[in-house]
Amino acid sequence: MSDAAGVLLEVSGISVRFGALLALNKVSLAIPRGEIAAIIGPNGAGKTTLLNCISGFYQPYEGTIRFAGRDRTRLSPPDVAALGIARTFQNVALFRGMSVLDNIMTGRLLSMRGNLLLDALWWGPARRQELEHRAFVERIIDFLEIQAIRKTPAGRLPYGLQKRVELARALAAEPQLLLLDEPMAGMNVEEKEDMCRFILDVNSEFGTTIALIEHDMGVVMDISDHVIVLDYGRKIADGPPEQVHKDQAVLDAYLGVAHD
Amino acid sequence: MSNAASSLDTFPRLVRANAERWPRGVAIREKDLGIWQAYTWRDYLERGRRIALGLASLGFVRGDKVAVIGDNRPQLYWAVLGVQALGGVPVPLYQDSIEKELTYIVDHAEARFAIAEDQEQVDKLLHVRERCPRLEQIVYCDPRGLRAYSEPGLQSLAELEERGEKFAVGHASYFDDEVARGRAEDTAVICYTSGTTGPPKGAMLSYRNLVEMGRIAAEGEGLTPRDEAMAYLPMAWVGDHMLSYAQAIVAGFAINCPESGATVLADLKEIGPTYFFAPPRIWENLLTSVMIRIEDAAWPKRRLTHFFLGLAQDLERRRLAGQPLPWLPRLLSPLGRLLVTGPLRDNLGLRRIRIAYTAGEAIGPEIFVFFRALGINVKQLYGMTEASVFVAVQKDGDVRLDTVGTPLPGVEIKISEGGEVLFRSPGVFQGYFKNDEATRQTVEDGWIHSGDAGFLDAAGHLKIIDRARDLGRLADGTTFAPKYLENKLKFSPYVKEAVTLGPGRPYVTALVNIDLGAVGNWAERRGIAYTSYTDLSQKPEVYDLIQQEVLRVNESLREDAVLRGAVIRKFLILHKELDPDDEEITRTRKVRRGHVAQKYAALIDALYAERDRVAVEAQVTYEDGRTATVRADVLIRELPAR
């Protein structure tokens, strides 16, 4: 396959094993630039493992991952982040005692150049740099409509807002690819609708390619361009939502098959 | 000279004069991306000019109506100016209106253009346009989420302004010519009043109405270009139009647009306005936020705060009643100012206030005293849309608890034989748009029938008793003033809204809405678990809490010679919040009694029967127009006889 054809992420035949458990079994997929792709599947299907491989947290024992045309199967998470991949977590992972603003600022750390002395004095380039990054972060705060909680400690926020702050932090890294692990888990209907709109807006406004794991099928069908279905570590379907929705293998995986 | 001065009688001409006088003077600030961005009078004129020319290039003709909808944004104020420059009429709309309401007004006003803040409003307007084909062009300020829209007749404000620039090339004097054609008698704005009964009516206000009334009130209070105000109330409310648009232009002071609806309190603190306008609801919210924080404080702090607040309120009450002040509290009050009231006022962002108005509805006396006791110059303002806001206002140093002050210069007040307040002023509106019937009912020989029952006291102060229509008698003839009771109830931080019932009934009852924030916080501190608003509202502990508040109201009512018979006998806590989307209260939060009585007839019947609970089902309407049903068991609490 060629990378010139607008494919941002290409995963070819990766497998991951935890002891005797084959968590991913020769999974291949391609996510074109500018797309919203959903990864779905029953519990334990290997969705989060796949995301962890893409973000460099796990190393597959076979297969390759190419990002923006370069092979980067064996990179550490910081290197992956530097390449332009950011993520959010299934369980919110914010710095609870830090303000929302500071939490989002940490998303800019990769693009900051440190100098202990200048930073301590907040002088010259250090000051200029901080102001530039703050300006960028403010754009994200405005975008996600969280102005009112800018200075609130993250730990004091309701869950739905914490999820939004996490998204903000991921966006602060200006990623090309955004990985969202169950961005809507545990939210009420209204919060889900808000989150859907934000995801769609991020995609159209910043042109960010998005891969998300989600259980709410309504959400998946509404917002994704392309759905990838995993079951027991294998990919069982891959295509536009309408098509996947009718796929027999998918129905079997979700509803179970009678074993005679 | 006199010629030049007299020609400053429309807002486009006034803004042009301001731009010449104070080219670098700040006219509008907006907090955007975390920083207060300032726009000068020159910017105001320039942006208004570009918007006007952009509209002209789209075939705008004099008299066209333009719907304006969104939060308070500089762009929307500029758009109002731009429309007026071309002889058009802006029609500001409530930003939280549902489609049905928007459709009615856009259709009734015959709007050809709409200027909207963002995607949310554009989505609503696109639906409205399907039923109102007269609406041709929709212009939006914030392009987020709208880039992929390909509907015809939809463009961004930036695109419109660009068109304006191009149009200007061949039409160098177009703008000034159009501005010169404006006359003081032209309709400047149509404000739709939500009204507690019937469909909204569009009050037409002329430039003369707004400029003259704005000027009279501004001169009376000595407003100058150095003053600062917050533009945070809905642009569709005549109060915001008068203060943030008309008076700001006439007096040349700066208005400040908050970052979002949720940040108003924080933004208030950063700006420290000197001129502030708020309906009682905002004062109630401020009070609630203060009370919650006090209850959360450690007990020495709490005790100290309660002591000095009590002291300050007691002094203020005596001061307002004209009674002598006892020496000990007077001696202690500077200490209270230093330790409690001063810091509290600063914390609320109200330290620099010179003039604050409460208007739109009667304010509960306890709330009024509280803020005055903090040293904030809150004054009651009596007015209405049809009067270009101002009718009567309390003068500095002559503020009383039970009156709304004296008529402004140029305003005449008289009381009809039936006890209704009538007035005449330069601010009397041109009539309701396309509704001569209603106009005839409201204005007679230039006198406006306010619909309020009241009287002028010996000192010439106007005292409002209640809405003439609402004032009633119990079955045994006891006078009953619902608003008066409700305001007393709403003084409690735990009570968000209350509706009292009584006319023609044997005794008075109340429907109460709890304040989710305050009661939720109270319940958490006591370890009372709840799952939802409905669940919380029906907790026996919450009933006990509200009962204390009702008893307090009854206690103070027994001191009133006229109303002592009308104490509350039974109450219940509503299982859902009264909501403008359900047409239970207006967008300015006035209770629509008729509608509430009809909708909760089953509950009301139960209040007058020997029952202690009643099952209910209620329809709720979401902002997108969908409806759902809520079921609950509502308890009824009878107060112990005294």
In terms of CA atoms, which chain A residue is nearest residue B264? A148
B35/A138 Cβ within 8 A: yes
Q: What is the DSSP string of B208-225?
A: HHHHHHHHHHHHHHT--T
Cβ separation A138–B262 shorter than 8 A = no
- Who has greater pLDDT, A125 or B601? B601
Angle subtended at Cα A249 by Cα A244 and Cα A252, rounded to the nearest 5 degrees = 115
pLDDT of res. B642: 60
Return the closest-CA partner of residue A230 out of A53, A28, A19: A28
Residue-wise pLDDT for B5-21, tens only, equals 448 999 999 999 999 99
Both structure tokens of B36: 């207060």
The amino acid at residue B290 is V
How remote is the C-alpha of B542 from its chain's centroid? 29
Question: What is the predicted pLDDT for the residue at A4?
Answer: 47
Q: Enumerate the β-bridge partners of residue A39.
A: A213, A228
Q: Helix axis angle, B99-109 relative to B119-131, nearest 10°?
A: 60
Whether residue B259 and residue A147 make contact (CB cut-off 8 A), yes or no, is yes
Residue B361 has pLDDT above 90, yes or no: no
Of the listed ranges B20-29, B146-155, B632-641, the least confidently predicted one is: B632-641
Name the more confident of B265 and B40.
Answer: B40
**pTM score of the predicted model:** 0.83
Q: Residue B621 belongs to what H/E stretch?
A: strand B613-621
Q: What ipTM was predicted for this assembly? A: 0.75
Mean pLDDT of B475-487: 83
Q: Please tell me the CATH code under which domain B278-465 is placed.
A: 3.40.50.12780
- Checking if the pLDDT of B3 tops 50, the result is no
In order, the DSSP letters of B101-121 are HHHHHHHHHTEEEEEESSHHH
Mean pLDDT (chain B) is: 90
Q: Is the pLDDT at B625 greater than 80, yes or no?
A: no
d(CA B529, CA B515): 16
- Using a CB-CB cut-off of 8 Å, the residues of chain A touching B266 are 148
From edge to edge, which strands make up the β-sheet containing B137-140? B89-93, B65-69, B111-116, B137-140, B154-156
Residue A106 has a CB neighbour count (10 Å cut-off) of 16
Q: Report the gap between the CA of B34 and the closest CA in chain A (Å).
A: 6
- A141 vs B266: CB contact, 8 Å cut-off? no
Residue B6, classed as helix, strand or coil, is helix
Burial of B458 per CB tally in 10 Å (0-12, 13-18, 19+): exposed
Residue whose C-alpha is closest to residue A162's, from A208, A195, A196, A189:
A195
pLDDT level of residue B350 (50, 70, 90 thresholds) = very high
CA B388 to CA B462: how far, in whole Å?
A: 18
User: What pLDDT sits at residue B5?
Assistant: 45
Provide the shortest C-alpha distance from residue A187 to chain B (in Å). 15
Closest Cα to residue A38, out of A210, A193, A218? Answer: A210
Q: How many CB atoms lie within 10 A of CB B3?
A: 6
* pLDDT score recorded for residue B195: 65
Q: Do A135 and B145 touch (CB under 8 A)?
A: no
* Contacts with A142 from chain B: Cβ below 8 Å: 32-33
Show residues of chain B in contact with A139, CB under 8 Å: 33
User: Where do you find CATH 3.40.50.12780 in chain B?
Assistant: 2-206, 278-465
Contact check, Cβ <8 Å, B147/A205: yes
pLDDT at A212 > cutoff 70: yes
Instruction: Name the residue of chain A whose CA is nearest to B149's CA.
Output: A204
> In terms of DSSP bridges, do strands B378-384 and A70-71 run parallel, antiparallel, or are they unpaired?
unpaired
- DSSP state letter for B382: E
- Banded model confidence at residue A2, pLDDT cuts 50, 70, 90: very low
Which residue has tokens 């009584």? B502
Q: How many cross-chain Cβ pairs, A to B, lie less than 8 Å apart?
A: 34
Q: With an 8 Å Cβ cutoff, are B145 and A139 in contact? A: no
Contacting residues of B for A197, CB less than 8 Å apart:
145
Mutate to test the interface with B, among A133, A140, A142, A143 (most CBs of B within 10 A): A142
Q: Do A147 and B262 touch (CB under 8 A)?
A: yes
In this complex, do A141 and B34 lie within 8 Å of one another by their Cβ atoms?
A: yes
Q: pLDDT-derived band of residue B470, with 50, 70 and 90 as boundaries?
A: confident
Q: What is the mean pLDDT of residues A93-98?
A: 90
Average pLDDT of the residues in B574-578: 90
3-state secondary structure labels for all residues of B9-51:
CCHHHHHHHHHHHCCCCEEEEEEECCEEEEEEHHHHHHHHHHH
**In chain B, pLDDT over 70 holds for what percent of residues?**
97
More confident residue, A68 or B65: B65
Inter-chain contact A147–B260, Cβ cutoff 8 Å?
yes
Q: Look up residue A259 and give its two tokens.
A: 């074993």
CA dihedral B170, B173, B174, B175 (to 10 degrees): 130
Among A156, A218, A169, A172, which Cα is nearest to A192's?
A: A218
| Residue B97, CA distances (Å) to B104, B128, B594, B622 in order | 11, 12, 20, 11
Contact A204 B148 (CB under 8 A): yes
Cβ of A148 and B32 within 8 Å? no
**Residue B4: band (very low, low, confident or very high) from pLDDT cuts 50, 70, 90:** very low
User: What's the rounded Cα separation, in Å, for the pair B294 and B272?
Assistant: 22
Smallest CA-to-CA distance from B518 within B503, B501, B536, B531 is with B536
Predicted confidence at residue A256, as pLDDT, reads 67
User: pLDDT tens for residues B22-36?
Assistant: 999 999 999 998 899
- B contact set with A (CB within 8 A): 31-35, 144-145, 147-148, 259-260, 262-263, 266
Q: Summarize the confidence of residues B108-132 as an average pLDDT.
A: 95
* Tokens found for residue B447: 């006198």
pLDDT of B587 reads 81
Ranges in chain B annotated CATH 3.30.300.30: 472-638
Contact A197 B145 (CB under 8 A): yes
Alpha helices in B135-272 (DSSP H): 157-170, 174-181, 207-221, 238-240, 248-251, 264-271
Q: Is residue B458 within 8 Å of residue B423, measured between CB atoms?
A: no
How do the domains of chain A map onto residue ranges? 1-84+175-260, 97-169
For domain B472-638, the CATH class is alpha beta
Pick from B33, B148, B266: CB nearest A138 = B33
Return the closest-CA partner of residue B479 out of B562, B364, B570. Answer: B562
* Chain A neighbors of B263, CB-CB under 8 A: 147-148
Residues of chain A with Cβ-Cβ distance to B33 below 8 Å are: 135, 138-139, 141-142
Alpha helices in chain A (DSSP H): 47-54, 77-83, 100-106, 116-121, 125-143, 159-172, 189-206, 217-223, 241-246, 248-255
Option in A139, A148, A205 nearest B33 (CB): A139
Cβ contact A138–B263 (<8 Å): no
Q: Kind of pairing, strands B447-456 and B443-444?
A: antiparallel
The class of domain B2-206 in CATH terms is alpha beta
Taking the C-alpha atoms of residue B434 and residue B203, their distance in angstroms, rounded to an integer, is: 10
Residues of A with CB below 8 A from B270's CB? none
Residue from B33, B141, B623 to probe the interface with A (highest A Cβ count within 10 Å):
B33
pLDDT tens sequence across A41-61: 888 888 999 999 998 888 898
User: Are B145 and A201 a contacting pair at CB < 8 A?
Assistant: yes
Q: Which residue of A has its CA nearest to B622?
A: A190
Residues of A near B (Cβ–Cβ under 8 Å) read 134-135, 138-139, 141-143, 145, 147-148, 150, 197, 200-201, 204-205
- Span B470-481, average pLDDT: 81
**DSSP state string for A104-122:** HHHTTGGG----HHHHHHT
Region B333-340: what's the mean pLDDT? 92
Judged by CB atoms closer than 8 Å, whether chains meet at B34 and A197 is answered as no
Q: Which CATH number fits domain A1-84+175-260: 3.40.50.10330, 3.40.50.300, 2.60.40.10, 3.40.50.10420?
A: 3.40.50.300
Nearest-Cα distance to chain A for B263, in Å, is: 5
Nearest CA in chain A to B31: A147
Please state the rounded mean pLDDT for residues B609-637: 79
Give chain B positions within 8 Å (CB) of A204. Answer: 145, 147-148
Does the beta-carbon distance from B33 to A141 stay under 8 Å? yes
Report which of residues B448 and B487 the model is more confident about.
Answer: B448
Per-residue model confidence (pLDDT) at position A38: 93
Q: Tell me if A142 and B32 make a contact (CB, 8 A cut-off).
A: yes
Cβ contact (<8 Å) for B34 and A138? yes
